[in-house]
Amino acid sequence: MGSASLKGSTKSKGKIIRRKRKVKGTYEKCKIVDAYNMVKDGSASTRKAAKTFNIPYSTLNDKVHQRVPLESRMGPMPTFSLVEEHKLSSHLNNLAYVGYGYTKSEITRHASDYAISLGKRAADKPFSTRWYRSYQKRHPESELVVPFLLPNQKILCTSEEKISNYYEQLNCILFEYHGAPQRIFIMDEMDLKFEINYKYDTLTVIGAGNASGEKIPPYFVMVEGFDEEEDNTFIRKSQLVTKGFRNYLSDHFLNHVQMKENENIIVLYDGHKSHLSVDLIEWAKEQNVVLFVLPPQESCIVKTRNGGVFEAVVSSYEVEYKKLINKKHKFNSNLDVVAVAKKIYDKVVNPVALRSWLENAGVYPSRDARTVLEILESLNATS
């Protein structure tokens, strides 16, 4: 009597042993993008790229020959494309590598800023923590990008490993882009509080200066009280990331910098204060402006004895503001506050302060990580 065969099973001494169904291998989506780019730029054949990144040859081959879209997937489409999300992941990994770790909310904010700059998210509808949980599942390779609480952020910023990584990267950038003092800038944003007609507002000032001691005039951003059409110098705080910094660089900064054709400018910013989007950093590079973070031990959450050039603007403003209030001085409009802030900025941000900060931070003249670590150790010993 014939017996019916059981698909996916075998008999052994009267027992039925079911074979486990073979599960297709899973692989990180960003690896597909890397392999795809490797083939497209001619660095490797399709077979070699598939082997290098341990992904199925047929999968990669279909995408290379556009039989299957690079971003094909089941279910609802995510906000970012695979390439865009890969750029975001790489950006966050690079920041973590040089000592800039972020909290869960800050990582989510980075992503929101990027989505807003791409026009894929409204400014008043940022991502939630739900997006972050989903992002983590999609990017298990992002081991460096994990949430850090503030105390751990400070430890990360001052660790020997991260400081060494930072100065290795910085010196590579200075070498690649021929970092002369007149082309090495620091940029920072300062928030100045004031009151007009019993209403409290904030004036944000963006300042910059180079290692030669030349400063860029201040750029003012009002949180409230100004219509953008009145003056393109004043924009709303909510649009600072998506529009303000780009306006600052294109309409203000580059107009005050003397650049020769095909010459690059290096601008260092505080990665814990100014969360610049991936899109903005890429756009800036197209304008020959290379954006890189400040040394991690000099970020706003650490503040070494080197202090800062632009922090002095805030402290001097607070002293002057209190003096004026005590003298019954009345601020009738935001422009009155701007006048006070500009006067202080012009006085505090001077050639000596700029050159001193960049030298003490080991930016220019450039220092290696070992020298910087020795200086930090001596500072800690005397504190």
What is the per-residue pLDDT across 120-147, written as a single tens digit (0 to 9) for each? 888 778 888 888 888 887 776 565 566 5
211, 345, 218: which is closest to 265 by C-alpha? 211
Residue 261 belongs to a domain: yes
Full residue range of the structural domain in which residue 185 is found? 159-382
Residue 209 belongs to a domain: yes
How confident is the model at residue 345, as a pLDDT? 96
- Domain match, 149 and 171 both: no
- Domain match, 90 and 222 both: no
Distance CA 252, CA 41 (A): 36
Two structure tokens written together for 331: 């601020």
Secondary structure E strands in the chain: 9-12, 15-18, 184-196, 199-210, 215-222, 265-269, 289-293
- Domain match, 52 and 91 both: no
3-state secondary structure of 7: coil
Top pLDDT among 30 and 383 is at 30
How confident is the model at residue 302, as a pLDDT? 77
130, 132, 107: which is closest to 272 by C-alpha? 107
Residue 316 in this model has a pLDDT that exceeds 50:
yes
25, 35, 30: which is closest to 63 by C-alpha? 35
Angle subtended at Cα 88 by Cα 220 and Cα 84, rounded to the nearest 5 degrees = 105
Enter the pTM of the model: 0.75
How confident is the model at residue 265, as a pLDDT? 95
**CA-based radius of gyration for the chain:** 26
Q: Give residue 224's pLDDT band: very low, low, confident or very high (50, 70, 90).
A: low
- Domain match, 130 and 190 both: no
Q: How many helices (H) and strands (E) does the chain have?
A: 15, 7
Give the total number of structural domains in the chain: 3
192, 223, 190, 207: which is closest to 321 by C-alpha? 192
Two structure tokens written together for 276: 């610049």
- Domain match, 368 and 310 both: yes
Provide the mean pLDDT of the chain: 80
Which helix (H) or strand (E) is 60 found in, with range?
helix 57-64
Query: What whole-number percentage of the chain has pLDDT above 70?
Result: 78
- Domain match, 164 and 130 both: no
Residue 234 in this model has a pLDDT that exceeds 60:
no
Quickly count: other Cβ atoms within 10 Å of residue 297's Cβ: 24
Q: Give residue 217's pLDDT band: very low, low, confident or very high (50, 70, 90).
A: very high
For 43-96, the pLDDT digits (tens) are 889 999 888 888 888 888 888 887 776 765 544 567 888 888 888 888 988 998
Determine contact, residues 367/158, Cβ cutoff 8 Å: no
For 274-314, the pLDDT digits (tens) are 768 888 899 999 999 999 999 998 888 776 555 678 989 99
366, 357, 270, 367: which is closest to 308 by C-alpha? 357
| Orientation of helix 278-286 relative to helix 104-117, angle to 10° | 50
- Domain match, 126 and 264 both: no
Determine contact, residues 86/145, Cβ cutoff 8 Å: no
